[in-house]
Amino acid sequence: MLFKSLPESIPFLKFQDFYLQAEDAGQPFTEAGCISSVDQDGAPHARYVNFKYFFEDNLIFFSSYTSNKALDFDKNQKVAINFWWPSIDVQIRAEGIISKCPEKFSDEHFYGREQGKNIAAIASDQSKLIDSYEMLEDRYEHIKSSIESGELEEVRPENWGGYQVKVTFFEFWEANKDRLNYRECYKRNGDQWEKFFLQS
């Protein structure tokens, strides 16, 4: 995850500090966070995504705008995210409001990526049913050879881009002896962050 123009307030700096500590401790997949959405019937759905940026007060990942989670986000913009970094025994919960990133931001990320990932983004209609995995592989290979022969351009699909989560709540959970864990929380209140503690 890249940290860019991070606000100077404590919860953001604390997030960055733990993130860097986890990386220093050799934590794999530090940028993977589990994001939960709620569908139109009120049922929750959770899945991991890779958060590539913390830009200003937004956690940002990239995905399909027509996937199952995208349908949830269209109906309900409230989301919850969870990171767990066992190498430092810290869990961070973040909650906030999700929206699509500006197109320019998605373009910059798309055109800076490895070609294979972009071909997969073009080939896959995320979350849609397919008869077999081989059909998806065939589509991937077909698009790859069309791009290589110049028949097709490697263009960011309209339904693929960034999602930004403007964080309104953080909980920093640190494991402690006898499970007397430390829970420090921050809730956004206008421009201020209200700090409080929860029992473990």
User: Tokens 């983004």 sit at which residue?
Assistant: 121
With vertex at residue 33, the alpha carbon angle to CA 161 and CA 112, rounded to the nearest 5 degrees, is 35
User: Tokens 């991991």 sit at which residue?
Assistant: 48
Q: How many residues bind ligand FMN (CB under 6 A)?
A: 15
Q: Which of 5, 40, 45, 196 binds ligand FMN (CB under 6 A)?
A: 45
Q: Which of 12, 18, 55, 61 binds ligand FMN (CB under 6 A)?
A: 61
d(CA 121, CA 118): 5
Closer to ligand FMN at the Cβ: 125 or 184?
A: 125
Residue 66 is a binding residue for ligand FMN (CB under 6 A): no
Closer to ligand FMN at the Cβ: 91 or 126?
A: 126
CB burial readout 25-61, b (16+ within 10 A) else e: eebeebbebebbbbeeeeeeeeeebebbbbbebbbbb
Minimum distance between the CB of residue 169 and ligand FMN, rounded to whole angstroms? 22
Q: Do 99 and 166 contact (CB within 8 A), yes or no?
A: yes
Q: Which of 12, 54, 55, 62 binds ligand FMN (CB under 6 A)?
A: 62
Task: Give the residues lining the site for ligand FMN (CB under 6 A).
Answer: 29, 32, 45, 47-50, 61-63, 67-69, 126-127
